[in-house]
Amino acid sequence: MLKNVFIPIHRAGWPFIGAAVAGAVLLSFLWAPLFWIGLLVAAFCTFFFRDPERVVPMRSGLLVSPADGLVSAVEPAVPPPELGMGDSLRPRISVFLSVFDVHINRVPADGTISALAYRKGTFVNASLDKASEQNERQSVRMTTPDGRDIAFVQIAGLIARRIICDLVQGQSVRAGERFGLIRFGSRTDVYLPEDVAPLVAPGQRMIGGETVIADLASKEETRGGEVR
């Protein structure tokens, strides 16, 4: 019960929380009601930077969602050219994170980090298709234990201005591990191997590190979805 109430806060959030509390105290000397406004800002920062534990499905071949949020698109696309994965279309799953979602990013599968590439860009609404091409992004290429490459990309959003990625090239990672975050609204894309079908549909809500988005060992066709 206490774990559901006292959710850990990511270290990147403490400067914002501390600044909001300090601002609330200082503003209270100007006008008392401003203190409560400052506390509301501090509460929002605490909520935004929450870092809950997740139960990661442990089976070889499973890919889990790298982020909380809604699946905004499932479509074929070419991976970011800076990763050197060629020009072939791959299934891409895009997860849009609103300011109310947990913003901790998690590694989608076991493997080794093969390449990292950061690219500056614009800050259009992350829910739009063009965000994958135009927005600021941090791209990651990883190789799974069976030798297949996948990619996942952190994409800044309309009000996001900071991408944090703690990975390094050559690092061994496990599915569900935390690897970074994007501040204040964003999007995360996953590029699957060409022969792997997405197991989620647009409109589905993802839980980072828990929701299975694909199975490298399955021959199942791409799943559809409907609202009921």
Locate the domains of the chain by residue range. Answer: 2-48, 62-215
187-214 residue pLDDT tens: 899 999 999 999 999 999 999 999 999 9
Contact between 154 and 137 (Cβ < 8 Å):
yes
Other beta carbons within 10 Å of 201: 14
Euclidean distance between CA atoms 45 and 43, whole angstroms = 5
Please say if the pLDDT value at position 1 is more than 60: no
Q: Which residues pair with 172 in a beta bridge?
A: 112
Q: What pLDDT digit, counting tens, does each position of 39-54 carry?
A: 898 888 888 788 999 9
- Look up the pTM and report it: 0.86
CATH code, residues 62-215: 2.70.70
Give the separation between CA 84 and CA 58, rounded to whole angstroms: 29
Residue-level pLDDT at 147:
93
Query: What is residue 80's predicted lDDT score, i.e. its pLDDT?
Result: 94
pLDDT tens readout for residues 120-164: 876 666 566 666 677 889 999 999 999 999 999 999 876 656 788
Clarify whether 186 is annotated catalytic: yes
- Whether 32 has a pLDDT exceeding 90, the answer reads no
Share of the chain above pLDDT 70, in %: 89
* Helical residues (DSSP H) of the chain, grouped into ranges: 2-5, 14-28, 33-48, 131-134
Q: Residue 150: CB partners within 8 Å, gap ≥ 6? A: 63, 108, 109, 111, 141, 142, 144, 190, 191, 192, 193
Residue 91 is predicted with a pLDDT of 96
The pLDDT of residue 125: 60
Q: DSSP 3-state assignment of 84? A: coil
Q: Using one digit for the tens of pLDDT, what is the confidence trace for 12-23?
A: 878 888 888 898
- What sign for the dihedral angle of Cα 86, 126, 16, 5? negative
The per-residue pLDDT for 194 is: 93
Mean pLDDT rounded to a whole number for the chain: 88
- Evaluate if residue 29 carries a pLDDT over 80: yes
Q: How far apart are CA 179 and CA 104, in angstroms?
A: 8
Question: What are the tens digits of pLDDT across the range 74-100?
Answer: 999 999 999 999 999 999 999 999 888
pLDDT at 206: 97
Spatial distance between the Cα atoms of 150 and 214, rounded to a whole number of angstroms: 11
**Residue 126's pLDDT is what?**
58
